Amino acid sequence: MSENKNPPIQWVRPPEGVPEYYANMVNILWSLDDVRFKIGQLVDVPENTTPGPNFRPVALASAAVTLSWRNAKLLRDDLIKLVQAYEKENGEIVTKIKLAPSTEENI
């Protein structure tokens, strides 16, 4: 197996800094050339303030990132390794969870 002789890529910060975003929602779109990840955060709206049978989530979009398919695949590989390492230390991340129903007394 040959070793990669390429030097690591140096990352630099622009003078205005790098924006940071938190997201708990993602929407993925794609074309023949690339993949677009639109990220956002759940927000409450007047018609939709508490969880329950009529709750409809609303996400406020905050940013979008577009990657080539090649970079999307490299990101996938890195995320697989990262999640595996995290779960090795902390146990399995549960993705099939249910939100407890809300009652007016809990708010």
Q: Please state, in angstroms and rounded to a whole number, the distance separating the CA atoms of residues 89 and 80.
A: 15
Confidence tier at 1 by pLDDT (50, 70, 90) = very low
Per-domain boundaries in the chain: 25-90
Strands 25-30 and 34-42: antiparallel
Is 1 or 102 the better-scoring residue by pLDDT? 102
Which contacts qualify for 43-47: CB closer than 8 Å, 24 or more apart? none
Helix (H, G, I), strand (E, B) or coil at 36: strand
Each residue's pLDDT tens digit, 10-50? 999 999 999 999 999 999 999 999 999 999 998 888 777 67
Q: Please state, in angstroms and rounded to a whole number, the distance separating the CA atoms of residues 62 and 39.
A: 6
